Amino acid sequence: MAIDKSGKWWVGSQPEDLKEYLEAYSSGGYKTHEFRLAKCKCGRDEFFFFADDDEGCAKRICSFCGEAHFVCDSQEWWTNSNPEEWKCAECGSKSANIGVGFSVYEDGEIRWLYVGERCASCGILGCFAGWKVAYSPSKQLMDQV
Based on the structure, what is the number of domains in the chain?
Answer: 1
pLDDT at 80 (0 to 100):
92
pLDDT at 86 (0 to 100):
98
> CA 84 from chain center: how many Å?
14
Give the mean pLDDT per block of 10 residues along the chain (145 residues). Answer: 90 97 95 97 97 95 98 94 96 98 96 98 97 94 96
* Domain that residue 105 falls in: 3-143
pLDDT at 47 (0 to 100):
98
CA separation for the pair 39, 119 (Å, rounded): 15
pLDDT at 2 (0 to 100):
85
